[in-house]
Amino acid sequence: MSKSYAIAVIPGDGIGPEVVREGLRVLDRVAAIEGFQVKPTSYPFGAEHYLKTKEVFPDAAFSEVKGHDAILLGAIGDPRIEVGLLEFGIIAKMRFELDLYVNLRPVRLYAEHLCPLKDKRPKDVDFVVVRENTEDAYAGMRGFFKKGTPDEIATQEILFTRKGVERVIRYSFELARRRGRGKKLTLIDKANAVRAMDLWTRTFAEVGAEYPDIAREHNYIDAACMYVVKNPEWFDTVVTSNMFGDIFTDLSAMIQGGLGVAASGNIHPGRVSLFEPIHGSAPKYAGQNVANPIATILAAGMMLDYLGETRAAQRVESAVERLLASRRIPSVGTDSGLSTAQVADLVLGELEAAPVA
């Protein structure tokens, strides 16, 4: 009997269902090539379901989703619905309640022509950002006082715990060691202004002492934004807080070619984890078959890697890399001249041809 993986699939809103459909085709094919099975179960949560039923993500369904080997998500967000309601009720709910404390966001330039920076080549843009995924302003400790009056006060706490900071920093040192590339870990924070981040500074130094083989660097977030544009080759492995990680990875995604190629994993090592493209639901392109599925295909590849199907994961990534480098897929945006399905067809074809290391 071949191995089989149960995957909970939440296609979500906007272009989500289109890109997820193609991601699943790629998973199915690479599984057949490598000799395992992928069994997807789809869940309808998102804007349409909410408008019809007033349900965001009911407990019963949530417990079912938890019981899978991994979760694949398309995109959540719809202009008809109150800002944040579905994003927090679905994506953030899983991040918090499944305690997915690592948001892993690789930044790789697969083909020189995709980079908006002058004279930067694939070897110059190859780093990975570890974004803390369960704390910071995202923890939702907020309030309004005298709401709607001229005296209104609005607060939202930036919070960090020693345990939360330590585990994500430790994960990042281990990752820097595994990557073996520059063997360098950069901490990005704003400890000069947000003094609570002194917890990051101290924890980074303490945990770092256990990893003498990994060089430690530090950038304030404002400087990091400058350096990533000026000298992306300076970065190898990066660890940062939730909100800075959110912002820094959208900027980084542009350097690797755009949100159409940026994938992520929301991970708790050893537990059910969630994989998704970084892009949103792009409502204006929904249903037109122009959305580029590459980010979702790469997220599916990251999921395979997480599940231990390393060869299959490499096969997916190298197929995408070759198609982009040879310009058979000329761009990662909606302007590639290829439909959503055609892009995936090319990936399917290339999967077979792919030499795997």
Task: Pick from 246, 309, 317, 321 the residue near ligand IPM by CB under 6 A.
Answer: 246
CA distance 184 to 277: 26
Q: Does 132 bind Mn ion (CB under 5 A)?
A: no
Q: Is 118 one of the annotated active-site residues of the chain?
A: no
Residue 87 binding target from ligand IPM, Mn ion, none, CB below 5 to 8 Å by type: ligand IPM
Which of 30, 91 has the CB closer to ligand IPM?
A: 91
Q: Does 246 bind Mn ion (CB under 5 A)?
A: yes
Residue 337's region, left for phi above 0, alpha for psi from -120 to 50, else beta, is left
At 97, list the tokens. Answer: 């309640």
Q: Does 87 bind ligand IPM (CB under 6 A)?
A: yes
Q: Is 222 one of the annotated active-site residues of the chain?
A: yes
The answer to whether 261 and 110 are in contact (CB under 8 A) is: yes
Site string (197-236) toward Mn ion, x via CB under 5 A: ----------------------------------------
Angle at 73 (CA atoms; ends 266, 21), nearest 5 degrees: 140
Which of 236, 246 has the CB closer to Mn ion?
A: 246
Q: Is 250 one of the annotated active-site residues of the chain?
A: yes
Which 8-state DSSP code applies to residue 112?
G
Q: Cα dihedral angle (172, 189, 255, 77), rounded to 10 degrees?
A: 90
Q: Report, in Å, the least distance between residue 135 CB and Mn ion.
A: 16
CA distance 319 to 351: 6
- Residues paired with residue 103 on neighbouring β-strands, in sequence order: 131, 266
Q: Which of residues 270-289 bind ligand IPM (CB under 6 A)?
A: 278
Cα distance from N-terminal residue to C-terminal residue, the chain: 26
Q: Does 309 bind ligand IPM (CB under 6 A)?
A: no
Which of 215, 254 has the CB closer to Mn ion?
A: 254
CA distance 331 to 113: 9
Q: Is 138 one of the annotated active-site residues of the chain?
A: yes
Contacts with ligand IPM by CB under 6 A lie at 87, 91, 246, 278
- Site residues, Mn ion (CB under 5 A): 246
